[in-house]
Amino acid sequence: MPTPYERVASPADLPAPGRPPLTRPVAGRWVGGVCAGIAEHLDVSLRRVHLLFVVLAILGPGIPIYLFLWAVTPSSDTGGERRDPGALRAVTGLGESRWGMFVAAGGLLVLVGAVVGLQLAGVDVRAGVLLPLLLIAVGVTVAWSHLDDAERTKWLGTQQQDRGMLWLRLGLGTVVAVIGILVLTIRGGSLAEMGDALLATLAVLMGAALIAAPWVVRLWRDYREEQEVAARANERADIAAHLHDSVLQTLALIQRRSHDPASVTQLARAQERELRSWLYAGPAGSDETLASAVTAAAHDVEDHSGIVIDLVVTGDRPLEEHGTALARALREAMLNATRHGRPPVTAYVEIGPTGVEAYVRDRGEGFELDDIPEDRLGVRASILGRMERHGGTARVRRREDGTEVELTLPPLEGDD
Amino acid sequence: MSTQPKQVRGPVRIVLVDDHRMFRTGVRSELAEEAGAAIEIVGEAPDVEAAVKVIRETRPDVVLLDVHLPGGTGKGGADVINGCYGVETEAGAPVRFLALSVSDAAEDVIAVIRAGARGYVTKTITARDLGTAVRRVADGDAVFSPRLAGFVLDAFGAAAGEIAEVDEELDRLSAREREVMRLIARGYQYKEVAKELFISVKTVETHVSSVLRKLQLSSRHELTAWAMGRRLV
């Protein structure tokens, strides 16, 4: 049933029909996957895109355009195949990025070679400008690849050793880019001038950092706050959805059945139990213990009979065959108490090193074991017989005020 | 008229502290129906500050105290008990507290008991049992629900077989106290416990009071750490 709080997938989450989002596919990428992504996005052949980029690169703007697209387009492994992060990273992620690095390094060498070659051949391609520009491009690429990976690790779960790698890459990229800028600015100058320029650059950078710092800090804090608010809103929506599906439904039912006190009590009790278990959920895997088995049995009887059973359990042990038998016999005893006795029905189970003792008590007229006809299997077979088969005992005592059934089990073997 | 001095005492004067008005109204009418003139409700309060004020003004015999209350330092019922430290009734007896709660979470219950409440019952209790519990607390005895008894057995390691060698030991139950607690956990009334163990009701009351004292004073780590980590369900 949809609730007003349920999150509906926003249009942005849905792939636009007919046009896949612009991403850089992991499979089949040569360098950064930009061309493949564009081909997929615009539904044109990959070869054409490659051709276009080669032409553009020769004309000039190709490489900056490529780098720009590469930096701003998310890799598709962050969106599509989040499911199996380990495998993805191991098989494709690393392999592809290494392959890409080879291609990039090769391309770079060819470019440098071409520039130097042309310059030496006498054609003026202004190597003094081009080479530093290339250097800057490499630095920026190395630094920006950090962003790409940072995003990836965010999805795959942060890995500590990768973190160091990322910072190293960022630092290295910055250094290379700064050297490129220096070389560009002091073309042909002396070493002393270079020192001065370096100082000036550093001063400018530090000044900029100082001016920008408060703003960056506030931006970061705002971002964190926004994230927290979103998380809280999510949690609220979860709680609201749960309450809507459980408590509100039950309250509506109670209003409609207000003329029937028995079913109102039953509904209220069942809802109380459900809410409690949701609020105070026990540790994981707790449903395989004797305590939880007898608790489940008591809840079951409550649901059947509509009579509240006050169950107290102390201690616990793993659930095995004998424990299961005890839980079943206890269930039968509680059913008897709700049928033949009067409330309040109380049950107490003590699980200790000397064995298990369980008591079910009601306030009714009670019954004598000898009064029970032979053909009534309830007490004889499901309580007495069952306990004896499992090495335990069962006793029915009629008290002044009601009846008490007592069940015992010996301790588990291996226990003291 | 020659009546025994015990009956001369007037009605038990009580103050209701609960932040749900509906619940206060319900308890008021139930107690009026059940106990009639034997119990007189002299005040009500919805939060910690109002409760402390009303209790200091009216000096009741018993305060029915919800475990979860708004106001104070956020500790609910325990704050009220701490705020009323030293307040006495006109007869010179201390004001006594009976904790009421819908929650069985151990840390809540243990917090009010250790602050000084004389007992704990759940809000699903019948009017008759509530009347009995109020009178018992007014007489200075302790009131344990089966669930609190079960918790005590667990927390003191009695269910696992730890037994005090001397009764005065604070961190473990004596063999007799353990028996009494087990019978209460089984749903026995004090009267039935007495009959089962061949002792007087007064002796049962003494044992229960002694367990309450241990619960309040013991430094057994289960009572602090254990109660926080696990819920009493």
Looking at the partner chain, which of A280, A310, A344 has a beta carbon nearest the beta carbon of B105? A280
Q: Does B160 touch chain A (CB under 8 A)?
A: yes
Mark which of A196, A217, A233 sits at the end of a domain: A196
| A1, part of any domain | no
| A414, part of any domain | no
Measured in angstroms, the CA of A315 and the nearest CA of chain B are apart by 7
- DSSP 3-state percent helix, strand, coil across chain B (nearest 5): 50, 15, 35
Residue A148 clears pLDDT 70, i.e. is over it: no
Q: Does B154 touch chain A (CB under 8 A)?
A: yes
Mark which of A196, A226, A248 sits at the end of a domain: A196
Contacts of A112 (CB under 8 A, 6+ apart): A131, A134
pTM (2 d.p.): 0.58
Q: Does B125 touch chain A (CB under 8 A)?
A: no
B159, A351: Cβ pair inside 8 Å?
yes
Strand-pairing partners, residue B15, are: B43, B63
Pair (A150, A230) in one structural domain: no
Measured in angstroms, the CA of A301 and the nearest CA of chain B are apart by 17
Nearest in space to B211 (alpha carbons), one of B190, B191, B192:
B190
Report which DSSP code applies to B70: S
Query: Which candidate in B183, B186, B195, B226 is best for mutational testing of the A interface (most A CBs within 10 A)?
Result: B186
Strand ranges for B57-178 from DSSP E: 62-66, 96-101, 119-122, 143-144
* Domains in chain A, number: 3
| A180, part of any domain | yes
Q: Find the domain containing A239 and state its range.
A: 197-281
Tens digits of per-residue pLDDT, A62-76? 777 777 777 667 666
Residue B204 clears pLDDT 80, i.e. is over it: yes
B186, A359: Cβ pair inside 8 Å?
yes
Mark which of A249, A281, A313 sits at the end of a domain: A281
Pair (A77, A164) in one structural domain: yes
Q: Does B146 touch chain A (CB under 8 A)?
A: yes
Tens digits of per-residue pLDDT, A283-330? 444 467 888 888 888 888 888 777 888 888 888 888 888 888 888 888
Number of H helices and number of E strands within chain B?
12, 6
| A83, part of any domain | yes
Pair (A53, A142) in one structural domain: yes
Give the pLDDT mean for B19-40.
Answer: 84
Q: Tokens 């920026």 correspond to what residue?
A: A140
pLDDT score, position A112: 77
Pair (A29, A173) in one structural domain: yes
Residue A412 clears pLDDT 50, i.e. is over it: yes
Query: Which candidate in A302, A312, A363, A407 is best for mutational testing of the B interface (most B CBs within 10 A)?
Result: A312
pLDDT score, position B93: 81
Nearest CA in chain B to A360: B186
Packing angle, helices A321-340 and A290-305, rounded to 10: 30
Tens digits of per-residue pLDDT, B149-186? 888 888 887 666 677 666 667 777 888 888 899 999 88
What domains are defined for chain B? 11-140 (3.40.50.2300), 142-233 (1.10.10)
Q: Chain B contacts of A404, Cβ < 8 Å? A: 186
Mean confidence (pLDDT) of chain B: 80
Pair (A339, A372) in one structural domain: yes
Q: Spell A265-279 as b/e; 16+ CB within 10 A means b.
A: ebbbbbbebeebeee
**What is the distance between the terminal CA atoms of chain A, rounded to a whole angstrom?**
52
Pair (A267, A384) in one structural domain: no
pLDDT score, position A281: 61
A353, B161: Cβ pair inside 8 Å?
yes
Residue A84 clears pLDDT 50, i.e. is over it: no
Residue A224 corresponds to which tokens in the numbers above?
């964190």
Tens digits of per-residue pLDDT, A99-122? 666 677 777 777 777 777 777 777
Q: What is the ipTM of this complex?
A: 0.77
Nearest in space to A394 (alpha carbons), one of A360, A352, A354:
A360
Pair (A262, A311) in one structural domain: no
Q: Chain A contacts of B105, Cβ < 8 Å? A: 280
Measured in angstroms, the CA of B186 and the nearest CA of chain A are apart by 5
pLDDT score, position A7: 43
Tens digits of per-residue pLDDT, B88-124? 777 778 888 998 887 666 667 888 888 888 888 888 7
Pair (A244, A118) in one structural domain: no
Split at pLDDT 50, 70, 90, the class of A12 is very low
| A5, part of any domain | no
pLDDT score, position A39: 81
Task: Give long-range contacts, CB 8 A cutoff, 24+ apart: A117-124.
Answer: none
| A6, part of any domain | no
Pair (A257, A302) in one structural domain: no
B147, A313: Cβ pair inside 8 Å?
no
Strand ranges for A200-259 from DSSP E: none
Tens digits of per-residue pLDDT, A223-242? 888 888 888 888 888 887 77
